[in-house]
């Protein structure tokens, strides 16, 4: 089920490799220094070409894979710089396209409107010397005017000071213990995680164990999908709650997402099992939330209540849950994001209210994973901010520009985590850049497995040497490193 989503990420991030206007960059500390290189002076690949209106020039022709421009920048002093890409949308609509530094993905450049405006990737580390800065094609249909580098601002002094108070009233002792410990670790440690449908001894966890010489991830990632009524009606039998009970009992932490399969009347018959994707359901969240589809609203409540029963089993067993519902909404590929932010926010608030106040689920630590500021429901119902990043294959960078973007979602301070990742980041780069994700949780399948039938680790996305480096780093937390979080500690 993740393959389709991942392919969309990778299409955005595949480079149209694209060399050559030299740009000297001033040393860090010269706050007013802004230096610029014109995109039309770079080297083009694919269909990209230089265009002009007679007064100024730009690069355009970003249409498909292989279309891009590359510029060479010569940095005099190593340090952190913000990259400002001056872009315009060819048709005025929203566009996102990959940015690479020395061939490695460092984030997305976004633009809206036909006028040129800056898209900023903050806090990118440059060593002294020449570097290749590339703009490739994901969504395409943009015009690129220039790239500018300016020294980055220092990180906020209070970046990792998180008040260990949960959003739910009277949280369970275990949830309180877990969140307090997460806050204590934040900025000092990175907590390992792995999605594994098979539970503690599932193939992904076995692959990690085999690759690392005997370590297990601290966090076990699971999914509520098979408890959704439209899947239960077709024989679905969830095992994730049993896996969660076992992992917590053995000292681990459990994380749940919910690929919420739409109710049966709204499913495409031949793809009912993919009913969480917008394209395979006719479920219209706006109509439901506006009261135009009362039957749909009743089914919405039924589904929430069904999942609440499972979460209540965990509550009653003293198991706290890192709870990440309605994820990746701003992408629009899931039905809960297809109607825009306003209906989504109403659904988030409905879900939070019903699980918290109707079902009394005080064991939930709420992770918001909407991935766009316009979709943020507010600090009162969010405990942790999560980002899902699939930067390509063997990309071990810290992804610091995305981390920095997360700081803008709220005026306060929230813990920031990699709620899904394709590649395990290099701990040295994460701590060098100062943007320390509180945890990560690698997706399953070939992101870690060589084969769907065997527990041999795959090296397509993360090499075994990098897994060993992460799990062997004293700043990384594995399952064996977790303190006793049970009871009233």
**Model confidence over 203-255: pLDDT tens digits?**
999 999 999 999 999 999 999 999 999 999 999 999 999 999 999 999 999 99
Which CATH fold topology does 173-481 show? TIM Barrel (3.20.20)
Has 70 been annotated as catalytic?
A: no
Angle at 63 between CA 62 and CA 64, to 5 degrees: 110
Average pLDDT rounded to a whole number, residues 445-452 = 93
Separation between Cα atoms, residue 392 and residue 297, nearest integer Å? 39
Of the chain, the percentage scoring pLDDT greater than 90 comes to 89
Q: Which of the following is catalytic: 420, 459, 463, 474?
A: 420
Per-residue pLDDT band for 10 (boundaries 50, 70, 90) equals very low
**What confidence score (pLDDT) does residue 24 get?**
38
Q: Considering the chain, what is the average pLDDT of its residues?
A: 92
Question: Domain 2-151's class?
Answer: mainly beta
Query: Taking 60 as the threshold, does the pLDDT of residue 4 lie above it?
Result: no
Separation between Cα atoms, residue 196 and residue 201, nearest integer Å? 9
Query: How far, in whole angstroms, is CA 26 from its chain's centroid?
Result: 33
Query: Taking 50 as the threshold, does the pLDDT of residue 68 lie above it?
Result: yes
**What confidence score (pLDDT) does residue 28 get?**
34
Query: Taking 50 as the threshold, does the pLDDT of residue 91 lie above it?
Result: yes
Global pTM reads 0.92
Q: Which of 70-74, 193-197, 447-451 has the highest mean pLDDT?
A: 193-197
**What confidence score (pLDDT) does residue 370 get?**
97
**What confidence score (pLDDT) does residue 32 get?**
43
Average pLDDT rounded to a whole number, residues 290-295 = 98
Average pLDDT rounded to a whole number, residues 107-135 = 96
Within the chain, all domains assigned CATH 3.20.20.80 are found at 173-481
Query: Taking 50 as the threshold, does the pLDDT of residue 196 lie above it?
Result: yes
Has 130 been annotated as catalytic?
A: no
Query: Taking 70 as the threshold, does the pLDDT of residue 489 lie above it?
Result: no
**What confidence score (pLDDT) does residue 34 get?**
63
Average pLDDT rounded to a whole number, residues 118-141 = 96
**What confidence score (pLDDT) does residue 451 get?**
87
Separation between Cα atoms, residue 354 and residue 96, nearest integer Å? 35
Q: In the 8-state DSSP scheme, what is residue 358?
A: I
**What confidence score (pLDDT) does residue 31 get?**
44
Per-residue pLDDT band for 488 (boundaries 50, 70, 90) equals low
Beta-bridge partner residues of 71: 133
**What confidence score (pLDDT) does residue 3 get?**
41
Separation between Cα atoms, residue 43 and residue 17, nearest integer Å? 10
Pairing of strands 79-89, 142-151: antiparallel
Helix (H) or strand (E) holding 111: strand 104-111
Q: Which of the following is catalytic: 38, 60, 174, 328?
A: 328
Average pLDDT rounded to a whole number, residues 425-445 = 98
Within the chain, all domains assigned CATH 2.60.120.260 are found at 2-151
Query: Taking 80 as the threshold, does the pLDDT of residue 1 lie above it?
Result: no
**Model confidence over 170-190: pLDDT tens digits?**
999 999 999 999 999 999 999
**What confidence score (pLDDT) does residue 472 get?**
98
């Amino acid at each position: 089920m993740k393959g389709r989503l991942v392919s969309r990420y990778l299409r955005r991030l595949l480079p149209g490799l694209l060399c050559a206007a030299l740009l000297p960059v001033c040393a860090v500390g010269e706050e007013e220094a802004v230096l610029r290189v014109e995109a039309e002076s770079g080297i083009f690949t694919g269909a990209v070409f230089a265009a002009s209106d007679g007064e100024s020039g730009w690069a355009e022709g970003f249409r498909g894979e292989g279309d891009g421009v590359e510029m060479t920048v010569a940095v005099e002093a190593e340090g952190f710089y913000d990259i400002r890409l001056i872009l315009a949308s060819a048709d005025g609509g929203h566009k996102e396209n990959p940015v690479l530094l020395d061939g490695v993905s460092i984030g997305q450049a976004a633009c809206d409107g036909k006028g040129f405006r800056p898209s900023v990737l903050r806090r990118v580390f440059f060593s002294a010397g020449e570097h290749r800065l590339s703009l490739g094609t994901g969504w395409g249909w943009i015009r690129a005017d220039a790239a500018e580098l300016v020294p980055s601002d220092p990180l906020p002094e209070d970046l990792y000071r998180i008040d260990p108070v949960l959003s739910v009233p009277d949280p369970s002792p275990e949830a309180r213990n877990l969140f307090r410990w997460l806050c204590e670790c934040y900025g000092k440690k990175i907590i390992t995680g792995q999605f594994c449908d098979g539970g503690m001894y599932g193939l992904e966890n076995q692959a990690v164990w085999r690759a690392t010489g005997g370590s297990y991830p601290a966090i076990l990632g699971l999914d509520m999908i098979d408890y959704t009524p439209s899947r239960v009606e077709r024989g679905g039998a969830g095992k994730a709650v049993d896996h969660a009970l076992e992992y917590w009992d053995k000292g681990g932490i459990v994380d749940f997402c919910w690929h919420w399969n739409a109710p049966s009347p709204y499913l495409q018959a031949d793809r009912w099992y993919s009913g969480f994707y917008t394209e395979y359901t006719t479920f219209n969240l706006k109509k439901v939330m506006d009261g135009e589809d009362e039957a749909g609203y009743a089914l919405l409540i039924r589904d929430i209540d069904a999942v609440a029963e499972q979460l209540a089993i965990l509550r009653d067993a003293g198991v706290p849950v890192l709870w990440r519902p309605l994820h990746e909404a701003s992408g629009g590929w899931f039905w809960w994001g297809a109607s825009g932010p306003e209906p989504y926010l109403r659904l988030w608030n409905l879900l939070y209210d019903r699980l918290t106040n109707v079902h009394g689920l005080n064991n939930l630590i709420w992770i918001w994973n909407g991935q766009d500021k316009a979709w943020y429901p507010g600090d009162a119902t969010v405990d942790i901010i999560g980002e899902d990043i699939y930067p390509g294959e063997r990309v071990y960078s810290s992804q610091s520009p995305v981390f920095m973007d997360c700081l803008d979602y709220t005026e306060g301070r929230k813990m920031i985590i990699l709620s899904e990742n394709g590649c395990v980041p290099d701990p040295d780069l994460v701590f060098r850049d100062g943007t320390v994700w509180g945890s990560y949780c690698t997706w399953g399948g070939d992101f870690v497995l060589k084969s769907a039938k065997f527990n041999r680790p795959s090296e397509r996305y993360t090499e075994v040497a990098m897994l060993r480096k992460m799990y062997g780093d004293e700043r990384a937390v594995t399952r064996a490193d977790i303190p006793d979080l049970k009871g009233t500690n």
